[in-house]
Structure 1
């Protein structure tokens, strides 16, 4: 799978660009897409507002971690993996028995966006299984991505030549498109383009970027991990579709 969101929409962490050693080591979103389509001839491409796009292929799919996509009420969600509690969650959200993991994620997001008085980490905690997903609400321009706490499903992100956010479960696609300006998406974490990167197991602790240097002192790579010694003052709360992605209030 592949998802690319231009800089103003994706708002990638600035730290993803720290290892960059020049524009020749990264590609434009269009070049990344062309490369993906060239090796994934069965891909379904979904063009989103402002030049953003998502693409799904079933080639080289891990049968234990199948890929799926759903489009519901202008919300696009790619889900990789599986959940053990699909039936329970489907019943909880009032979905039909044939509801898929991607459908459940979308419905959980809609409840959170429109009515729920609790933060997004509470929703993701309810997902029991091995998974990674990326979702985009075309109405509110909200981007929401997450990975299971064990990191069982491959999921990577990076920064394209123009600063766009690139996400994929294919490491080669990320490396070829973003060069060293890429990293594994941290397990047990959520990324939202309004509030940034947070841990759903440790929502009161910051997630920090850790850099590594080569023998010349240049930043060669970056990864993200929870800082258990640094606390966030309050838990973000959500109220309405308008402030779900852009603001946080406290009870």
Structure 2
């Protein structure tokens, strides 16, 4: 699977370009990446061409039966899913889906709960997914992008930066290196990325996910990895909606009593 989005939608972390030291060597634009994909998967590709040169693509070529791929478009929500969920029967019942619902359909319904019940914590949605998986969701109506990978990292997912600053995501390491050169890294296991919210861990949502620079024997930057910093806590998320109203009412009542 592959997804490429302009930086206005999916701005890559600045650390991804560190190994390339600001050069454009071996980095491709969205248009060039699209041509590479068409040449690699000329007959077995499903491709969603989105506005402004953004796109998502998937092929069943060399698909493993242990990590099947599925895709779906529903209510202008595009989803590509790689892997398998172990608790699909429970999830189908929970979201009111038929027995034929695929993993891609399930995560789209989970995303809709996250979107429609904002500010519902995104980590609560992903925690309910048991299995080995990586998926990409794009909501064309709101322009929201969501990436996720299982906590064990059992399904490959990498992300990188194109020459035009676009975000590139794929489960094919060779493809993403051809598109991004050295400006790429494994997407951290147990994490989700949402434009507007950034990268966070769904197992440790109160801790920052930071980039760690790797250097070779000569001290040159050769790569970047992202991992949860268990020693750094994020600021508490302000209460909104009914929770904030309840808290304000409780404070007012306490003040009246005093």
TM-score by length of 1: 0.92
Looking at structure 2, the residues matched to 32 and 24 of structure 1 have their Cα atoms a distance apart, in angstroms, of 14
Conserved in 1, the CA contact under 8 Å of 2:207 and 2:234? yes
User: 1:209 maps to what in 2?
Assistant: 211
Instruction: Give per-residue Cα distances to partners, 1:54-106, cap 9 Å, x unaligned.
Output: 01101011111011110000000000000011111111011112111111111
Q: Which moved more, 1:26-35 or 1:223-232?
A: 26-35
**SS at structure 2 position matched to 1:10:** coil
Offset of residue 50 of structure 1: 2.3
What are the ranges of 5 or more consecutive residues in structure 1 without an aligned counterpart?
240-250
User: 1:242 maps to what in 2?
Assistant: none
Greater helix content: 2
Looking at structure 2, the residues matched to 6 and 237 of structure 1 have their Cα atoms a distance apart, in angstroms, of 32
**SS at structure 1 position matched to 2:224:** strand
User: 2:106 maps to what in 1?
Assistant: 104
Offset of residue 217 of structure 1: 3.1
Offset of residue 219 of structure 1: 1.7
**SS at structure 2 position matched to 1:61:** coil
1:47 lines up with 2:49 in the alignment: yes
Looking at structure 1, the residues matched to 72 and 103 of structure 2 have their Cα atoms a distance apart, in angstroms, of 9
User: What is the correspondence of 1:53-68 to structure 2 with a 5 Å cutoff?
Assistant: 53-68=55-70
Tell me how many residue pairs correspond in the alignment: 240
Conserved in 1, the CA contact under 8 Å of 2:156 and 2:171? yes
Looking at structure 2, the residues matched to 30 and 119 of structure 1 have their Cα atoms a distance apart, in angstroms, of 35
Larger C-alpha radius of gyration, 1 or 2? 2
Looking at structure 2, the residues matched to 75 and 186 of structure 1 have their Cα atoms a distance apart, in angstroms, of 24
**SS at structure 2 position matched to 1:233:** coil
User: 1:37 maps to what in 2?
Assistant: 38
Looking at structure 1, the residues matched to 126 and 52 of structure 2 have their Cα atoms a distance apart, in angstroms, of 28
Instruction: Give per-residue Cα distances to partners, 1:28-76, cap 9 Å, x unaligned.
Output: 1111121122111211110112221001101011111011110000000
Q: Which moved more, 1:213-222 or 1:74-83?
A: 213-222
Q: Which moved more, 1:228-237 or 1:176-185?
A: 228-237
Looking at structure 2, the residues matched to 188 and 217 of structure 1 have their Cα atoms a distance apart, in angstroms, of 30
User: 1:174 maps to what in 2?
Assistant: 176
Conserved in 2, the CA contact under 8 Å of 1:183 and 1:221? yes
**SS at structure 2 position matched to 1:149:** coil
Instruction: Give per-residue Cα distances to partners, 1:178-210, cap 9 Å, x unaligned.
Output: 011000100000000111000000000000000
User: 1:10 maps to what in 2?
Assistant: 10
User: 1:24 maps to what in 2?
Assistant: 25
TM-score by length of 2: 0.89
**SS at structure 1 position matched to 2:223:** strand
What are the ranges of 5 or more consecutive residues in structure 2 without an aligned counterpart?
242-246, 248-258
Q: CA RMSD in A?
A: 1.5
